[in-house]
Chains A and B, each alone.
Chain A
Amino acid sequence: MTIMKPSREVGIAGYGAYLPRYRLPGSEVSRVWSEGEDESPVVEKAVAGLDEDAVTMAIEAARNAIARAGIRPQQLRAVWVGSESKPYAVKPSGTIVAQAIGATPNVTAADWEFACKAGTETMQASFALVGSGMGDYALAIGADTAQGRPNDALEYTAASGGAAYVIGPRENSLAYLEGSYSFVSDTPDFYRRAHEHYPRHGGRFTGDPAYFHHVEGAARHLMEELGYTAKDYAQAVLHQPNPKFPARAAKSLGFTPAQIETGLLVGRVGNTYAGSSILGLTAVLDEASPGDRILLVSFGSGAGSDAFSFVVTDLITERRRKAPATATYLARRREVDYAVYARYRNKLLMH
């Protein structure tokens, strides 16, 4: 068997979203770089403020997840942060987050990197830690302040945001895990070399051999092994670098547009990289009903996908009220123009 099932049943005890307050309309990027001729793939994207980074976003998402889980931070045995925009190249973001939420010192803390699927990597690892019985709870976080090179197609979508999950035993879960699966290959569709500010990517090569091959491959395999088809799922959340990719992959997997609608935030949020698919999941959990089956499939360039099948439990109703909803963050919105965006995202030459 190639799908993964821990020996102890596990699930999501709490979840938390975070989106920064600022939004850059796609029309602003188009105005600056094409005098408005190019059409933006998204309405707008979420932009981190001057005092935010992947660590601060991870902390808020983590606090929300812990509030929903109703556990003491000292019960956590792991705090793992997945990000491609770590504020420090060397020095763990995980220890800052762990200290801020009050989880230190009896905890492992580390940072994970796998482009846009660093966040679901921390979930896989957390399921393993809790599933093996090494600990009862682990905190899995994906957060990014993604940078797109000015005048690159990615500038329309490279966004900031994150989500966090308290992973715990099934009996204390608002959604339990039926099984997961990871599917990777060496596919250099997008990368950023050490010390470089902006990533490079392979244009259309990021599509079929990269995103679609891995997302569809992972999703199909997991559903087959679990004996499900798209019809068995209430909702599916696929990594969303733009609105087109997840829509096309969902269709190919047999999902209707309605089945991916709730978790498809990219048009209003952009691509929050390590936060992308897992923020979609927070939006789905905000509205899910007990018994709903949910498919989550991430994608990270380089390349690979993690796929998860969850079933929502009765605990969802009570717990989702305990922290701000994804929609609350979406509604908390302050538009900025390209100049302010350039200042906030450190694109002005100051030295």
Chain B
Amino acid sequence: MHIPRQWRTRDQRLSLMGEVCPKCGVKLFPPRDVCPECSGPAKEPFALSGRGAVYSYSTVYHAPEGYESYVPYTVALVRLEEGPMVTAQLTDVDKEQVAIGMPVEMVTRKIAEDGEDGAILYGYKFRPALEAGAAC
């Protein structure tokens, strides 16, 4: 595992920390130094809510090295309510349930681990949105 590389992105992985462009106001994820909308410098952190909807999805049966133990798993493009699109796995969902437009919310899960004695990579996944509020 590339621990320094993963460490650098911990705020993105663990809490969807993006940016807002101070000039044009667009929300960005992942963060980048130059705003792709207005080419101004984009440096102001902005935490995305994690709420969004499935834009496209695919169930992966043949995984890249390091992800084999999770197959089959579903990956998706999720359009966040603030605008940015993110690529992530869906979790806690049967593949038959997934549909374009399905409301989802961000959760933090294990993404991969470097064997039983190696580091664990935690990061965002999305699952069908749960209702807040007392059920009874």
A binds B: yes
- What residues of chain A have their CB less than 8 Å away from a CB belonging to chain B? 20-21, 49-53, 55-56, 59-60, 67, 87-88, 96, 99-102, 286-287, 320-325, 327-329, 331-332, 334, 350-351
Residue of B nearest to A73 (CB): B15
- The residue that A51 contacts in the complex, of B15, B47, B111, with Cβ under 8 A, is B111
- What residues of chain B have their CB less than 8 Å away from a CB belonging to chain A? 10-11, 14-15, 47, 69-70, 89, 91-92, 94, 107-111, 116, 120, 122, 125, 130-136
- Cross-chain contact B107 with A56 (CB below 8 angstroms): yes
Nearest-Cβ distance from residue B63 to partner chain A, whole angstroms? 12
* Extra contacts besides A51-B111, A321-B133 (6): CB < 8 Å: A20-B92, A56-B108, A59-B108, A99-B10, A102-B15, A320-B133
A320, B135: Cα distance in complex, Å:
10
- Cross-chain contact A286 with B108 (CB below 8 angstroms): no
- Cross-chain contact A55 with B122 (CB below 8 angstroms): yes
Q: In the complex, which residues of chain B have a beta carbon less than 8 angstroms from the beta carbon of A87?
A: 120
Count of chain A to chain B residue pairs whose CB atoms are closer than 8 Å in the complex: 80
Q: In the complex, which residues of chain B have a beta carbon less than 8 angstroms from the beta carbon of A56?
A: 107-110, 122
Residue of B nearest to A324 (CB): B130
- The residue that B15 contacts in the complex, of A101, A323, A351, with Cβ under 8 A, is A101
- Cross-chain contact B122 with A96 (CB below 8 angstroms): yes
- Cross-chain contact B132 with A322 (CB below 8 angstroms): yes
27 contacts between A and B (CB under 8 A): A50-B69, A51-B70, A51-B89, A51-B109, A51-B110, A52-B109, A52-B110, A53-B110, A55-B122, A56-B110, A56-B122, A60-B108, A67-B132, A87-B120, A88-B120, A100-B108, A100-B122, A101-B15, A102-B15, A286-B136, A320-B134, A323-B132, A323-B133, A325-B135, A328-B130, A328-B135, A331-B135
Q: In the complex, which residues of chain A have a beta carbon less than 8 angstroms from the beta carbon of B94?
A: 334
- Cross-chain contact A325 with B134 (CB below 8 angstroms): yes
Residue of B nearest to A350 (CB): B69
Nearest-Cβ distance from residue B16 to partner chain A, whole angstroms? 10
Q: In the complex, which residues of chain A have a beta carbon less than 8 angstroms from the beta carbon of B91?
A: 49, 51
- Cross-chain contact A99 with B15 (CB below 8 angstroms): yes
Nearest-Cβ distance from residue B101 to partner chain A, whole angstroms? 20
